[in-house]
Amino acid sequence: MITLTRLSGTKFALNCDLIERVDATPDTVVTLVDGKKYVVLESLDDVLTSVRRHRGEVLAMSTAIDLDMWARQNARPTHLGTVSEHPTARLGLTPVDSADEAEG
C-alpha cells in the first residue's frame, strides 16, 4: 500500500494494485479499477515513484523469505522444491563474496 494525502490534508493508504490510471488535470486524480476516484496533493510523478518503490520493496522482501524454514515449520514442501540458503541458488546463480569482488 502507498500513502497519499487528500486535498483536505488527511492521509490515507491505498492499495496500489487497484490503480487503473493517474491523471494530472491539474490536480492529481487517482482512478481505481472499480471507477472510484481520489484527488490527492501528491504530483503524478510522486504517485508513480511511490508505486515503484512499493513494488520494489515487495520484490526485495520476497528474496529474504526462507522457504525451507517455512516448509519445515509447516511440514509442507515448497512449490519451488528444495531451496538452498541463498535465494539466488534457485536461479542457478552463485552469490559473489565481497572478497572475490575486490579481487576481480
Residue with more model confidence, 44 or 99? 44
Helices first, then strands: H and E counts in the chain:
3, 5
Domain ranges of the chain: 2-63, 67-103
Residue 59's pLDDT is 84
> If DSSP codes are grouped into helix, strand and coil, which group holds residue 35?
coil
Its pTM stands at 0.63
Query: Which tens digit of pLDDT belongs to each residue from 85-95?
Result: 445 555 555 44
Which residue, among 49, 89, 54, 85, has the nearest Cα to 68 in the 3D structure?
Answer: 85
Query: Which tens digit of pLDDT belongs to each residue from 24-83?
Result: 999 999 999 999 999 999 999 999 999 999 999 888 877 766 666 656 666 655 555 544
